[in-house]
Structure 1
């Protein structure tokens, strides 16, 4: 271990490239990494942030496409498919993000760091993580690189073996950051955090982002449900939430300081116990008359939509409503978790429409590509959602380790999911049943229109 020092170190935080068949910026920001950066700065550590997905990198020049809601396409460069995919997957494979030479130039021009943090998201994006770390080590040989995030948590052994990181840290980094920094740099500090109180966390360091066209907002951690296809309860075993006041102050901060108008809620359970959480937050937003736009890409629990919450969401400025429906097979025999019945779904849709939301604003996620799923079930769900007067949104199933459905997915998949995380890519539809082909998937997409 490094000898103890009283000099604050320089820590580089990096959001890595994506390697995939397709990728798009759906209000995506490395919120966990930027929260760690904020904790470090709060304790006098010098922080530099580099985003390999930066759509507004200075070397990109003018012309970056930005949708009115802040979303937009990443820069895309076709790259060779991994050898393991070449004979098994059609379609072009690409690196999404900035040009590698831009990244190397930025690294060369910065003061050398004492420690590097790299985050990770999808397990099947492991190739982009490895390329990112390789570039960092090329410019800064000998500087320790620590990998965290979802891939590092769900597939720790794979990340240790393949990512090139010097250390892989699974789980919540906020509780381990002091130990990690001390172990690698000798610098000691005591974070002013209470793991039980999310309000003690500093605001994420979104100010380090080049062009903040939208801001992520996380009001809760974890989820009280345990859906068999989802890893939320594994990644965040305890359901915790912030005070409505702290969330409101964060929204005001980014709007007033950076002019942000679009906010995406990253919550898996935004409306749970709405009377004490979402309702006072929505009322504060309405009373402030901020004229903002809010989006719910992680989906809302349908049972929690009431006349009050629907009305308040509309008045507060919610523009994109996504419902976690999964299927319209409401029978007791269905294999998916049953979080909602037919009456509850149609009642929620009616409430949202009565509040003022249009068909284009309301979408219901429908899972597609599940183990042993039949084409008729997906078609029926699409038609039922369209009949209700809202938009069906296909959510392609990704097999995720540590979920109840993982073992069933492995049995159903035409790939060896344990061999490489790349086979979990939902673009490959790894668990397609005998009655569903890529051709029928294309037909399903057309049916949603």
Structure 2
């Protein structure tokens, strides 16, 4: 049996301009690749199509898919890419109705089986982790689906769930994601500009789940438990990427890379003892950081640590996530910076309960922190996040799925306007980056990240067109 997987792109938030975000920040679709690798290990034929790396018009894409003669086409979709994915699926069904269509990913898991009631081109949904569920569905040749946990299917024309799929307890039992099935890997893929010392580079996910309860996080795929790959498995994964693809730097895209201290210590020891020529970035929670951990990360090749700070207003933070005093945040970031690693802060604008004064407090606070760069997203209430349940009571919510990509204000808190939010967002970016300290930091990238400089100069015309459109 042959399975072809599609990773749809979604709406270009830059309108008529080239989507420079997919030039400077394109990471492989690891969830889809993990399912493909599992099927391949079981003897099935697989093909991957990542529409970010290889965009093409829908008719051409559908013709390629049908020409590949798959038995099943699987779509991995976020909320913003779901409708594009469905449009492709609908065209496939019109031309080749015998092909089974399966949807999985964040949107399918968060919205659930009700999607089957309004999107008839979808035959099945994968709810939860997909590796074992997808394989069992195909191995059964789509029969007896009511006995395969984790399947959304139709009973008497109505979407129902077969049962809840138990989590994969031993993540080390899974093969490495199918990087080899990606067209143009690793050359077409790249971590965010100026966030790596060397290329080629890529991303890894070495854990699943999160025990924390932030109001804005959707945990519908992996739930709130926490499971992780062993240090030995991660080390072998890195060795494989370096040996087979020449990877020199990776980003551990785990929400909680530093959650299990013993795991981090053992991985750092393996990296130091074996002198693997691969550096890395990671995401850490501030409460995990201490002098010993900073020393371990730096010694083992950590180049940058990202922290979710979200807001500089204490009351907003207390409402949406585990609170840490703002002075303590400053001290932790300074500890990492002094330890010799770059520090990136992740913020949100437009959270429920925010007003102009609160957002200005966040901007002013961010300017006091020892950050090398920031990423500011526009708050988006995703289905599956705790806050989604009563979001309409906290402001105006325009639930337009293609725009729900954290780059559009689809939610406006009570007492604010869209114009206010856009102006404050632009002010945040402008005030942070138009400082001499930040300019000098990027000047040092000439020798710290020469590949980033080359990428920047190669795409300078597109960058300038983008800058002219912004109001920063």
What is the match of residue 74 of structure 1?
A: none
What is the match of residue 429 of structure 2?
A: 445
Q: Is the 8 A contact 2:313 2:358 kept in 1?
A: yes
What is the match of residue 123 of structure 2?
A: 166
Pick from 58, 68, 71: which aligns with 1:100?
Answer: 58
What is the match of residue 421 of structure 1?
A: 401
Pick from 377, 384, 389: which aligns with 2:365?
Answer: 384
Q: Is the 8 A contact 2:211 2:224 kept in 1?
A: no
Q: For 1:255-270, what aligned pairs fall within 5 Å after superposition?
A: 255-270=242-257
Pick from 394, 397, 403: which aligns with 2:376?
Answer: 394
1:134 aligned counterpart, secondary structure: helix
Q: Is the 8 A contact 1:222 1:233 kept in 2?
A: no
1:314/1:202 CA distance change after superposition, 3 Å: same
Moved more, 206-215 or 29-38: 206-215
What is the match of residue 182 of structure 1?
A: 139
Q: Is the 8 A contact 1:416 1:423 kept in 2?
A: no
What is the match of residue 301 of structure 1?
A: 285
What is the match of residue 225 of structure 1?
A: 212
- 2:313 and 2:322 mapped to 1: Cα distance? 9
2:386 aligned counterpart, secondary structure: coil
Deviations 1:362-401 (A, max 9, x none): 1211221112311222222222222122134312211022
Q: Is the 8 A contact 2:7 2:29 kept in 1?
A: yes
What is the match of residue 287 of structure 1?
A: 273
Pick from 136, 154, 171: which aligns with 1:198?
Answer: 171
Q: For 1:144-159, what aligned pairs fall within 5 Å after superposition?
A: 144-157=100-113, 159=115
- 1:380 and 1:173 mapped to 2: Cα distance? 42
What is the match of residue 74 of structure 2?
A: 117
Pick from 337, 354, 360: which aligns with 2:321?
Answer: 337
How far is the alpha carbon of 1:150 from its aligned partner?
A: 0.8
- 2:120 and 2:306 mapped to 1: Cα distance? 34
Q: Is the 8 A contact 2:30 2:177 kept in 1?
A: yes
What is the match of residue 13 of structure 2?
A: 21
Deviations 1:106-161 (A, max 9, x none): 33543x1122222112x132222112213433553321111111111111245322
Pick from 352, 356, 362: which aligns with 2:336?
Answer: 352
1:18 aligned counterpart, secondary structure: coil
**C-alpha RMSD of the superposition:** 2.8
What is the match of residue 82 of structure 1?
A: none
What is the match of residue 73 of structure 1?
A: none
2:11 aligned counterpart, secondary structure: strand
What is the match of residue 35 of structure 1?
A: 34
Deviations 1:233-259 (A, max 9, x none): 664232111111101100110110111
TM-score, normalised via structure 1 length? 0.78
Structure 1 segments unaligned to the other structure (5+ residues): 1-8, 58-96
Q: Is the 8 A contact 1:369 1:397 kept in 2?
A: yes
2:172 aligned counterpart, secondary structure: helix
Do structure 1's residue 430 and structure 2's residue 419 form an aligned pair?
A: no
Q: Is the 8 A contact 1:372 1:431 kept in 2?
A: no
Pick from 71, 83, 86: which aligns with 1:130?
Answer: 86
How far is the alpha carbon of 1:202 from its aligned partner?
A: 1.1
Structure 2 segments unaligned to the other structure (5+ residues): 149-165, 187-200, 434-472
Q: For 1:223-262, what aligned pairs fall within 5 Å after superposition?
A: 223-232=210-219, 235-262=222-249
Give the paired residue count: 387
- 1:267 and 1:99 mapped to 2: Cα distance? 33
2:184 aligned counterpart, secondary structure: coil
What is the match of residue 391 of structure 2?
A: 409
Deviations 1:331-372 (A, max 9, x none): 699423234223431221121122112xxx312112211123
